[in-house]
Amino acid sequence: MKKKDSQAQLEWVNPKEIEPSQENPRRDDFYKDKDFLRLKESVAEHGVIVPAIVRRLSREVNGKKYVLIDGERRWKAAIETNRREIPVYIWPRERYIDVLATMFQIHMNQEGWEAIEQARALESIVVALREKIRKQHRRSKDIEKELVKQLMDKTGMDRNNARSRVLFFRWPKKLRYDIYRAEDKNYYSYAVEIESKIVGPALRNFPDLKGRISPDDIRRALFAKVTGGFVDRAEQIRDAAILTKRRRDTKQVSKAKSLLLEFIKDTSFTFPEAHEQYVALFPEEAKKPAYSSRKLINTIVSLVKALSDYTETAIKTMKHKQKKDLQTALNELIGIARNVLKRLR
């Protein structure tokens, strides 16, 4: 039996037989760019020089035989200049994940994608990896752990970034694509904060919550507060995370869960209001200092050492704005330190 070729094949195909990838993070109006107009002029005169990269579809659909992996601008220019054929590398399905990961790394280096653009570009990779991992693992926790590991391996991401992307992919596909299309690019970071600080902890600490409301409905409800203009910064989401805190007393658990459900279901209930109401319900939470006395002392000792080690040469190399910022910070530090010293006497 002949061994199936696992390498790409160079062929000439009709660009109309290629469908664009739905996961390409390039914005939809790129064809208005001057660079694209120049590319179109070149393609009209010389044709496509650098081959695009495609994957063959399992079956032809509406005249489409391939799906585009890389080369959307060249493909679009060929369509608009009525080119009958363009060169493409056709990659076999078994190499699909490797090809996607390679193209992801290339575009990351060339274009410096933001987090939201990375997430959109990872759509196909994550779907393919998850399908593969599910054949080996059953528990969602194990699947996500392995997915983070393989994303790091395939794309070169660090653990924190890979973990953030995987958290985002818990969200329903329609909601993810709404975030991709949104003008406010902060929506992605807000979604990750909501997932990591509220949805995940709420489902862990209140196991019976799923019987009252589905995880995806929680995500939709909380994100509606974002799109409704009730979030100015990520800190507001992090402050509201106190609602999901694990409590041992049965009565306190009931009160906390009721407040959490009210916050989720009431579209006008803001994140800051949720934090305030929780503190009113459990006053002891407002009295806890951000730092223990020991941690505060250790932090001050470290700061004193850092300031002592900051040489005159280092100060001379600072830019004017940096010097101004440092002076402002030091003056603020001196003022606060004096006030604390007065209270200690």
Q: Is residue 178 part of a domain?
A: no
On whether both 113 and 86 belong to a single domain, the answer is no
Sign of CA dihedral 268, 270, 276, 281: positive
pTM of the model: 0.65
Tell me what the mean pLDDT of segment 258-287 comes to: 91
On whether both 196 and 281 belong to a single domain, the answer is yes
On whether both 64 and 74 belong to a single domain, the answer is yes
Q: Is residue 179 part of a domain?
A: no
On whether both 121 and 58 belong to a single domain, the answer is no
Residue 324, Cβ neighbours under 10 Å: how many? 11
pLDDT at residue 293, as a whole number: 82
pLDDT at residue 289, as a whole number: 60
Burial string for 112-133 (b: 16+ CB within 10 Å, else e) reads ebeebbbbbbbbbbbeebbeeb
Residue 202, Cβ neighbours under 10 Å: how many? 25
On whether both 24 and 87 belong to a single domain, the answer is yes
Q: Is residue 267 part of a domain?
A: yes
Mean pLDDT of the chain: 86
15-44 residue pLDDT tens: 999 998 765 555 555 566 778 888 999 999
Q: Identify the domain containing residue 334 by its residue range.
A: 293-344
Q: Is residue 247 part of a domain?
A: yes
Exposed, middle or buried by CB within 10 Å (0-12, 13-18, 19+), for 253?
middle
On whether both 231 and 307 belong to a single domain, the answer is no
49-88 residue pLDDT tens: 999 988 888 888 899 999 888 888 899 999 999 999 999 9
Q: Is residue 233 part of a domain?
A: yes
Q: Is residue 182 part of a domain?
A: no
The residue with greater pLDDT, 214 or 315, is 214
User: Which of these three, 69, 91, 113, is where a domain ends?
Assistant: 91
On whether both 265 and 304 belong to a single domain, the answer is no
Task: Report the C-alpha dihedral over residues 332, 335, 336, 339, rounded to 10 degrees.
Answer: -170
Q: Is residue 181 part of a domain?
A: no
The residue with greater pLDDT, 310 or 60, is 60
Residue 30: CATH number of its domain: 3.90.1530.10
On whether both 31 and 60 belong to a single domain, the answer is yes
Give how many domains the chain has, as a whole number: 4
On whether both 98 and 85 belong to a single domain, the answer is no
Amino acid at 283: P
Sign of CA dihedral 103, 108, 113, 117: positive
Lowest mean pLDDT among 50-54, 81-85, 107-111, 180-184: 107-111
On whether both 278 and 310 belong to a single domain, the answer is no
